[in-house]
Each structure stands twice: as C-alpha cells, then as structure tokens.
Amino acid sequence: MPSDQFRSPVRGAFYALLAAALFGLNGSASKVVIAAGLNPAQVTFMRVLATAVLSGAWLAVAGRRHFAVTRRELAALALLGVGGLAMVQWFYSVAISLLPVGVALLFEYTAVILVALTAWLAFGERIGARLWWAIGAVLVGLAVVAQVWDSTLRPLGVLAGLGAAVAFAFYFLAGERGVANKHPFAVAFWASAFASAFWALFSGWWNIDPELLTHPVSLTGALESVVVPLLVPLAYILTLGSFAPFVLLFTALRHTSATAVGVAASSEVLFAFAVAWVWLGESLSVLQVVGSIVVFAGIVLAQTARQSPTAALEPPAVGEAAPPPL
C-alpha cells in the first residue's frame, strides 16, 4: 500500500468513479452481445475466463509466490468463484436480457443491504441506525421502480436481479472474511478460474459458431447505423468492461477507505441508466426516476452503515479482497 505521503483520496475517488463508469457502459455492451446471439451463460463464461487469464498474467509478472494457496484457502476460493463470481455475473446477464440495464442494477445493488444485515445478524457487527432508513428507502424505491401496483417488469428478470443481489452479497462477505489474507489479484485469479471451470461445463460454449464472432452486428439504439464485428463489443466486455474496472477499484482501495470506494462504485447504477438512455433508448417514467433516486440514496446510506473494526473502514492492506468485476 502507498504510504500516507503518496495516498490521495481524490485519486482514489477518481479511480472508483472511472471503474463505475466502465461497469455502467458494460451493461449496455453486454445487452448488444446477448441480443446478437450469445446467451448469458456463454457471456459469463467468457468474462470469468478472461479475468482468470489476465489476473494470472499479472501475477506471473508480479511473482509466482502469489499463486500459492493452502488447501483450506482453495476450498474457500472455490466457493467464492462458483457461489459468488459465477452466479452474480450469470444472474446479472440474465437480468439485463429481460430488464432495462439500470433497473437490473438497482436490484443487484440491494446486495449492500444483505451484506449489512448478514454482518449484523451472523457476525455481530455494530450497524448504524441509518441501515434501517436505508432498507426502507430501498424497499419503497424498488416498489416504485417496479410499479408493483401495475408492474410492467418481467418477473423472471426481477428474480434474476434479486438472485444477482444474493450472489453479490455472498461474494463480498466471502471475499472479505474468508480470503482476506490473499492478494486481490490472487483472489481474482483463483475465483475466476473456478468460475470458469464451472461454466465450462454448463455454458454450452461449444455451441458457439466461430463465425458468429466475426459476424457484423449493429450497436442498436442511437448507434444503430454503426455496424462492427461482434468481437468488438465482446472485446470491450472482456477487458474494459470487466478486468480494467476491477484493477481501478483495487487501485482506489489503496488510496482511500473501502466505504468511500463502495459509495463511489455505487454510482455504476447512475452511469448505467445514463448510458442505456443515451445509447439504447431505455427510459423510465418520472415516477420511476424518483424511485431510482430513492433506491440509490438507500444504497449509499447502507454502504456507510457498518461500524465494526471488521467492516474495513480503513484502507485495506495489499492482501485484502476487492469487489468483484461485474
């Protein structure tokens, strides 16, 4: 970790916001790729495989000692990779194929509430009173966004979004407590490797027609006139949409607190709404926009609700785990 002399909270916030922007753009890019013929499981397999390869390459350069794990750590990383990383990305891909990108992310980020509740109920952490305000804001806001009185959202998409929230919460808690003594890139490598092995069995990657990857596709929406090979948006998803923002979040954590990074990273929801509106023409009613703002406010409140020493309120050491690439 940089010494206090070289730490810069401003730079940390910038890195986290840039990561959120890249993740936000990733949702719309993923929607284009899925619409072009790749299914959510295949896209998930490619994303976790790319993360494993790039993380492994970084570790190979940094020093092979980082690959070392104990048998117990390997078991924890396997659970983290399959139960967390593999599932959160698959549920998210399913959700955005059925829901507006921003709405899918609103459901996924309710993971913040689940993390705080689990930390309180299961681990005895002190939780600020603001958590209860956050829970109320999120529930009311989601009810407005989903328009439960006259819902136009597809139920399967809502379930997928909530599934992503559960998997995201599991990933965060498992990464924070189970493998906190490992280098973040080592966590990324092993978790992604296990996630890749899982989806190698169930994604049906062997059914992908190689010609599809070079098939010209329209970027749709406002970019409908732009036609590129499918490999172009796919390359973005695998690099700038997955691995790069993960590196940026890790770098941000070296300059400022995990809580501050979490709050800044939550702006992914806002970026996703903005990009999907400008690019894909996905819009919400005025009432739904208000509901989205209420949900986002609840997410930010929940990010700052954890008060115990184990809640990573100070900048984590090099060996602590970082949030997953989405």
In a structure prediction context, what are the per-residue pLDDT tens digits for the chain, which is 326 residues long? 455 556 777 888 888 889 889 988 988 898 899 988 899 999 999 999 998 999 899 888 887 777 888 888 888 889 988 998 889 889 999 998 898 888 888 888 888 788 778 878 877 777 777 778 888 888 888 888 767 666 677 889 999 999 999 998 887 777 666 555 677 778 788 888 999 999 999 899 999 988 999 999 999 888 889 999 999 999 999 999 888 887 787 677 677 766 666 677 778 888 888 888 889 888 778 888 888 888 888 888 877 776 544 443 333 343 344 444 44
306: in domain: yes
212 found inside a domain: yes
* 240 assigned to some structural domain: yes
Within-domain flag for 279? yes
In-domain check, residue 317: no
Q: Structure pTM? A: 0.78
218 lies in which domain range? 9-311
Q: Is residue 252 part of a domain?
A: yes
DSSP symbols for 216-257: EEE--GGGTT-EEETHHHHHHHHIIIIIHHHHHHHHHHTTS-
Could you tell me if residue 323 is inside a domain?
Answer: no
- On whether the CB atoms of residues 164 and 92 are closer than 8 A, the answer is yes
Per the CB < 8 A criterion, the answer to whether 160 and 103 are in contact is no
Counting the structural domains of the chain, the total is 1
Is-contact 164 108, C-beta < 8 A?
A: yes
In a domain, 19, yes or no: yes
